[in-house]
Amino acid sequence: MSAFEYVFTFYGLLLGLAAANVATGFADMWRDRLQVAVGVCTPLIAFIVLLGVMNLWLRFWANREMDSPGPWQMIGFAGLALPYVFISRAMFPGAGGATSLETHYLEHRRIMLLALATPPIVSLVTTALTTGLAAEWSTIWVGLRVLAPIALLPFGGRTANRIGLAAILGLLVMGLFR
C-alpha cells in the first residue's frame, strides 16, 4: 500500500462516519416526522455536511501523489474531517430531546457554525504554512467558506439562518465543480 492509501483509509473512515451520521439522521427525521417538526435549517446543515465531506474527499483525491504523511499532516486531516463528524451528530437532538429540529439548531447554531468554519480555517492555515496563500479562485473560495458561517453568527432568526445556510450550501455546490 502507498502512503496515500494508508492515510486515505483513516481520512475516508472519518468522512464516511460523518456521511453515515447524516444518513441516519435523515432516517430518524423521516421516522419521527409526526412527533418532531423538521423545519428547514437542519436539512440544510445536513446537506452542508454531505457537500463538505464530498469537497474534502475530492480535494484529498487530487493530492493522492503524497509523500509519507507526518504528524502535522495527520493533525491537519483530523482538523478537516472531525468538525463534520461533530456537526453530523450535534445537529440532531438525542431521543426525545426536542419537539422541533429547527429549534434545536437555533439553540445550538453558534457551535455548529463555528464547527463549519473550522475545516476551511485549517485548510487556509495549512496552505499558508506549506505553500503560501495566492490570490486565486481556490483560496478565495476557502476564504468565503470561513466568512460565511462566521457572518451568520450574530443572526439568531429563522429566516436569516435559512438564507445563510442556503448560501453556504450554494458555495459548497460551486466548490464541487471548481
**50-78: per-residue pLDDT in tens?**
999 999 888 888 777 767 777 888 888 89
Q: What is the 3-state secondary structure (H, E, C) of the chain?
A: CCHHHHHHHHHHHHHHHHHHHHHHHHHHHHHCCCCCECCCHHHHHHHHHHHHHHHHHHHHHHCCCCCCCCHHHHHHHHHHHHHHHHHHHHCCCCCCCCCEHHHHHHHHHHHHHHHHHHHHHHHHHHHHHHCCCCCCHHHHHHHHHHHHHHHHCCCCCHHHHHHHHHHHHHHHHHHHCC
| Number of domains the chain contains | 1
For residue 152, give its domain range. Answer: 3-176
- Each residue's pLDDT tens digit, 163-177: 999 999 999 999 888
* Mean pLDDT per 10-residue segment, the chain (178 residues): 80 91 92 88 95 89 76 86 95 78 93 96 86 79 93 95 96 88
- The whole-model pTM stands at 0.90
